[in-house]
A and B are shown apart, each in its own frame.
Chain A
Amino acid sequence: MWNWEFAWQVMPKILEGLVVTLEAVAGGMAIALILGLLWAMLRRTKVKFVSWPTWAFVEFIRSTPLLVQLFFVYYVMTDVVGRGLSPLLTGILVLGLHYSCYTAEVYRAGLDAVAKGQWNAAKALNLNGYQTYRYVILPQAVPPILPNLGNYLIAMLKEAPLLSVITVLEVLRAAQVFGNEHYRYLEPLTIVGVLFILLSLLAGLSVEWLRKRTAAMTS
């Protein structure tokens, strides 16, 4: 049955692992936010040669398991390139790339929601592509989609324990390693589970708060 003394012993390891998890999510999210915007903008270009491959790439990444993508990058780097990236760096890159294909769809919906006249107005003012996005389109497109981006941040947080399979010492692997050492998984794995439930509740509340804020801002 539940042993509090054992539970307290594992806590420091789990918190150390949690820091790594949060680092990975922060890094991944930075990549996802930037790359996603790039995919969304490339998809909108009139050049089919650019927009079509971008679409195909985004669909492909969205339709395949994150786990296999992790293995692909991790093992191709060690077996084919001969120089492995560190597991954490691999994890951050793959998380970021994977979720950029989800954020791309969010941005796309946001860009589509900007009134068409805004593009025409920017053209009438003789703004170039960069200026149009920077000063006209993005300031209108981004605030309303912030809550949706937040939802993908939560989704990424929930998938981050996957990095344990490529030996990143994040929260789940920290618990598992401790469990292996003591032949006991009840406390370590339960603590991690409860921790994640609390984190996603907290994150859900923050997104709800953000939704109210942005709704108040735009109305």
Chain B
Amino acid sequence: MSERKERALRNDQDTRAQALAKLLLRPARGSLLQAILLPVLAVFTALIIGALVIVFTDLQVLNLYKDFFSAPGKALAASWKSIASAYSALFKGSIGNPAEFANAISVLRETGDTAPLRQAFWPISESLVTSVPYIFAGLAVALGFQCGLFNIGAEGQIFIGALASVYVGYSVKGLPQYIHLPLAFFAGAAAAGLWAAVAGVLKAKTGAHEVINTIMMNYIAFLLSDWLLNGPMRRPGWAPISPAIRDSAWLPKFFPDPLRFHAGFFVALGIAAVVYWLLFKTTIGFEIRSVGANPDAARYAGISVTRNFVLAMFLSGALAGMAGANEVLGVNHQLASAFSSGYGFDSIALALLGKSHPAGVVLAALLFGTLRSGATRMQSLAGVPVDIISILQALVIIFIAAPAIIRWIYRIRLEREVGETVFTRGWGQ
């Protein structure tokens, strides 16, 4: 190649790199209001449709609708009552009952007994406890999105992370907490990271799509965990459950029972900050985002797409593994089969809702954690099955992923975003 050609090529690469840098470094256009409006409207609309589902599956209310034309007020009042009881149960189950708080405070003043107060704080503690795995798993999916990878395997990675950290948690003896706890936590992260990196390597080396591979690896992870919990890791007894982890691997708790709020929450916030720093303040993050924005341009700019696929998948898996580790070390202190029940899948919705940004993910995770822990209460108090949450989540993703629908419903002009995140590409590329 002649020198001139080479220089021309280098210039070309430079301009491409500059264009890419501009694209990535430019602050997002549009106001903050705009950025918040869409998710808020999406959640709001989902709640309204959820209310409709609740009403139209309530047989008592439906019976009243038979006489709608003779007594419309009755039917509407019953509908309202049905929705109100469901959503107020959701609120009481996730945030708490104001009356209970007031009562607890007066009891505290009069007798100094903290038990009622703890009871009043229980719902909000549960919401926060549920949010923690969501934060980790949401960050996992979001980090993948930033690199243009759709990590649908967070669920399996959570299992792998939990398996590794429960193993370290019960088998390693005689370590002080400040060594044992981080060891167990990061063992989970590392194991899940390596597990996920397989999909990254396969994508980078052979072009095999990470969606199919992570789905397949989910099932492999579930089966592996079934086998381990029924075989090598089984605690003597009748249920497939692992031995309990040692006290030295427990994430510290701050309050007496029944409050389960533990240090994992702050770890999660810390990790979210680290992910933010990594993605937006370091070269590594810049490369990851470049590959996500446009792999061809990134390659021209001299960034190794292959390496970033593997790295992003490793980091994504590690974050999902932390969700598993957190559940084991902070909440359950042992591992039973099928313990995760969908955190990994929900986290896809979460990452989309949070716009793949760590801050957005944390907020979305708090919302999802609140909804999920409240939904359990809603089931027992208002007879609304907990699965309503999945319906709400699906609706939220639709509205976020197709903003045109929200635009159409509310007749508002939402600006098209610049450099919209590309989530995935076809199987073959």
Binding partners A and B: no
Interface residues of A (CB under 8 A from B): none
Interface residues of B (CB under 8 A from A): none
